[in-house]
A and B are shown apart, each in its own frame.
Chain A
Amino acid sequence: MNMQARPSDTILLIEDTPSLQMIYKAALTRANFAVESCGTAAEGMAAFHRLKSSVVLLDLMLPDRAGLEVMQDLLTMAPQTCVIVITANGSINKAVEMMRAGAHEFLVKPFDDQRLIAAIENARRALHHRPQPVKDAVIDVLPPFIGHSPKMLLVYDKIRSVARSMATVFITGESGTGKELCAEAVHQASARAGGPFVALNCGAIPVDLLESEVFGHLRGSFTGAISDKMGAAAAADGGTLFLDEICEMDLNLQTKLLRFLQTSTITPVGATKPRKINVRIICATNRNPLEEVRLGRFREDLYYRLHVVPIHLPALRERGDDVNEIADKLVVQMAREEGHEFSGLSPRVQELFRTLPWPGNVRQLINVLRNVVVLNSGPLVSPDMLPPDLLAERPARAAETPEDTSNRPGLGDLAGRTLAQIERIVIEDCLARHNGSVPKAARELDVSASTLYRKLDAWAKAEQSA
């Protein structure tokens, strides 16, 4: 996962001997460098995440992890980082090993303050002259996303293409598929990256307050308006406004949003004069927007105004082996945060993860992994560490014998069928019970209506071609 934010000027010093930490920090501070010091690898990684330092001074022998591993992680997260290794072990072999692994410079203790400062200045110069990585333009994955599945590669391409324009983006996808991440990626890749990115969840704000949250209000404009409030639209001026769960927006407010999109002006509640602002709109929903239009819950003209460049994020179960790629990276990261030792997933868990339906998508995967990492100590995630309710989600009860299934009402009919066949039986049964209403069936099955529409479409096409 590459880090997106701009690197900071604060030098990160990771050295476990407090006296040496104090000495190096004093020398750098005296030379007018901003320094933050840490005594362990875990603290150092946390500080790096927070500071995004472009120059890191790293001791090779740390109490909790080898400096080499820490350096590799830092360079994986932010390849442009200049890591200056400091060590009391001055062997040539060690120096060569570290330089090969990507260290910018190798300082052997003891070294004088001039040498230290020269190393920092060299690193700064190198950063300045170093060509920006063309990596992002040629490699397929778009950070901070993880995963190489064909569906996600298409998403990355679309994000890169749309980022260059000002067009409104409409992101769809089930809950937990990373819609906000996608919106942020569009913002970060666009020319507006230096401007604000303001996210507003239309579903989480009471209808009465939503107008004020989006457009702001003036003091005294309604009971409780004790001071002027800048709305999200004004706060995003010069940047991007992300309206999540747009289909939850009240119809009256949809009218105002449409006017805002047409005129690029906002009128805060209680104000008489409109104000011109310059924002890019990205919106998202986990519903099927066209279905919402059909049901009269979403204005058709607003839909066409917003639905300029649609991006559909696939569900985790549709992303093949991405689930394991994501899990592998996250489990190591979480283990580091929790101070536990995990290096990845066992082959059995990988197999299981590929077959689970993941109704909560990546968000559910994150919660499962956090549960595992907090309650267990590695090195590999094994099936017995997984929460029992996750295992209950297993769709193909392959482990059960025919005797077992015969004792379960209804399951006997499903024995010997493929997972896809069982899924179709369940969906068709659910639709029949709801008189063909896709939204109602989707609600019962806890999936988005668009998922059901896609499946129905695929089955129809398969039958036609057959």
Chain B
Amino acid sequence: MFPGAGRKNVNTSLDCAHVLPQFHGVIVTWVKRLAAIMDNTINTNLNTSASSVDVSTLTALLNMGGPELRANLCAQLITDFTRLRGALANDHGAAVARAAHEVKGLALTVGASKLADLAIGLDGVAQSLPASALALMVKPLTTEIDAVLSVLGDAAQAPA
């Protein structure tokens, strides 16, 4: 069984495009507040980085083949999350949305549900946000990616 299977992938992007032009200011304020809440939540949980990833899900994923596959997969996941972290540091909403979408699929698969939730939220609104609001939304996401990378780093060191 792939790890994150069974978890619902909620799409929040529907209808946003119609609403945003009229309520842009309200939404930006709301996004800032939401980002601040997310930021606080993540900061308080940073010390328990293992909770960023469902360990049983990740273990099942890494053990789907032999030790060679486990090592290769760990390395590839670290490479991909690092690449996506870099891709999120972009002023263009479309590029950020694209990266967030990719984070979403990958996070859901490795069992990083918190990261997936953040990515889903960003994917839905990134294209409509000004750069300042975008940066606020991206910050908790990159912090959570760091937490996931830390778990993956530990998994890479651990014996198969």
Q: Report A's interface with B, CB cutoff 8 A.
A: 16-20, 22-23, 26-27, 30, 61, 87-91, 93-94, 108-116
Contacts and interface: CB of A to CB of B under 8 A. Distances in A.
B109 A109 contact: yes
A112 B1 contact: yes
Interface in B43-69: 61, 64-65, 69
B73 A23 contact: yes
Given A19-B73, A113-B2, A30 B105 contact: no
Given A17-B105, A23-B73, A109-B109, 14 more contacts: A17-B106, A19-B79, A19-B80, A22-B76, A90-B9, A91-B11, A94-B11, A108-B9, A109-B108, A110-B108, A112-B5, A113-B2, A114-B1, A115-B5
A111 B106 CA distance: 11
Nearest to B100: A88
B53 to A, nearest CB: 13
Residue of B10, B76, B79 ringed by the most chain A CB atoms within 10 A: B76
Contacts of B64: 23, 26-27, 30, 113
Contacts of A114: 1
Nearest to A116: B2
A115 B2 CA distance: 9
A306 to B, nearest CB: 59
A89 B1 CA distance: 20
B40 interface: no
Given A20-B105, A20-B106, A93 B14 contact: yes
Given A90-B9, A112-B1, A113-B1, A23 B109 contact: yes
A27 to B, nearest CB: 7
Given A89-B11, A109-B108, A18 B2 contact: no
A47 B101 CA distance: 25
B13 interface: yes
B9 A23 contact: no
Interface in B63-106: 64-65, 69, 72-73, 76-77, 79-80, 98, 101-102, 104-106
Contacts of B102: 16-17, 61, 88
Contacts of B76: 18-19, 22
B140 interface: no
A23 B98 CA distance: 21
A26 B109 CA distance: 14
Interface in B1-24: 1-11, 13-14
Contacts of A116: 2
Contacts of A111: 2, 5
B54 to A, nearest CB: 11
Given A17-B80, A89-B11, A108-B9, A27 B2 contact: yes
Nearest to B4: A110
Contacts of B13: 89, 91
